Amino acid sequence: MHSDDLVEDESMSEQRKPPRGRRRAPGGRIVTLLLLLLAAFLCAVALGRFGGLERGQISSALIALTPYVTAGGGVLLLLALSLRRWLIALVVAMVTAVLAAGVAPRVLADESGDVQGRSLNVLTANVYFGKADVDRLVRLVRRNDVDVLSMPELSSGMVDELRRAGLFDTLPYSVLKPEGNGDGSGIVARYPLHELSLASNTTMQQPSARIDLPGERDVQYVAAHPVVPVGGDTTAGWKREITSLPAPATDRSQPARILAGDFNATLDHAPLRKLLGRGYSDAAEVTGDGLTPTWPELGRPWAPPVTLDHVLVSGDTAVRDYRTFKVDGTDHRAVLAELVVPS
């Protein structure tokens, strides 16, 4: 081989080498495109969450998955960094940080002050068209010294079963609105109830009552159950039924207010966040259990668990404990909040 040939080969080899300081990102355009699509999905969920863009069943479901999307954003950030897509990584980092700021308070328990007053144990259980295990529900009431129980989706047949199981011996006072097709509801309590109309003109029954507690201060209680947002007028009704729920008590001269039930909404949905912004506290968030799922428990293996059931309390009402329980026959977990209502 001539020396001229060697020089030419070396020259061609030098031309084929990538410039120093510039390394081709692994995976090429296809990987970049996939990362862009995932980043776009992350941004879309964030925009929907903070922009209140619930328009129907799909968008509402995606916003309900915000905690999962936030965790996925962290994974996507690591992936983008490892594949040296710096601009994508920057966008993902910023969006994930904003989402995490909204989710993180749910796992950070608030400091509890020394509140003096009347203890009140509240249990809410969506009874799934009246198919929930009645004996299990009554045992939960007795074992946890429940003072007030709300039951979205109560049927008249279940009322008879609850009577036979002895619920009304333990909680003798009631405001019951049983109906078929999951539209009924009811409140039963240890203390006298006086029916109110705090959540009228709703798709499904949302009974309310004043609870005459021993002492000077009473409680106004709503068994919440806004309609499911499946699109169109139904989604508009869902928003209206949540945001039109009564405002919390502003001082101790008023009865404390408690809203408990199946809101068909998570803390990421704009209507529920708007209601909380009026002065309510979510019992699960107060205790650091805000990511504890309550649905689904039955027959929906494809649905990621989310938190649809809540106990909301007036600002001066203290939350001592929060727990959830499985009840056979229903697709929701029962939610127990141990409260202290200031005198």
* Same domain, residue pair 305 and 168: yes
Look at residue 253 in the predicted model and tell me its pLDDT: 85
DSSP, collapsed to helix, strand or coil, labels residue 169 as helix
DSSP codes of every residue in 231-288: STHHHHHHHHHHHTSPPPP-STTS-EEEEEEE-S--TTSHHHHHHHTTT-EEHHHHTT
Last residue of a domain, one of 71, 91, 106: 106
CATH code of residue 183: 3.60.10.10
Residue 7 lies in a domain: no
Residue 16 lies in a domain: no
Q: Which residues contact 176 (CB under 8 A, 6 or more apart)?
A: 154, 159, 186, 187, 188, 207
* Same domain, residue pair 130 and 83: no
Residue 5 lies in a domain: no
* Same domain, residue pair 164 and 63: no
Domain of residue 226 covers: 111-342
> Which pTM was predicted?
0.90
Cβ-contact 290, 107 below 8 angstroms? yes
Retrieve residue 252's tokens.
């101790």
Retrieve residue 286's tokens.
């107060």
Look at residue 274 in the predicted model and tell me its pLDDT: 97
* Same domain, residue pair 170 and 271: yes
- What's the CA gap between 118 and 115, in Å, rounded? 9
* Same domain, residue pair 100 and 150: no
Look at residue 16 in the predicted model and tell me its pLDDT: 52
* Same domain, residue pair 101 and 160: no
Residue 3 lies in a domain: no
* Same domain, residue pair 36 and 175: no
Residue 117 lies in a domain: yes
Beta bridge partners of 337: 122, 322
* Same domain, residue pair 165 and 54: no
How many structural domains are present in the chain? 2
The list of the chain residues with pLDDT below 70 reads 1-24
* Same domain, residue pair 215 and 287: yes
Beta bridge partners of 128: none
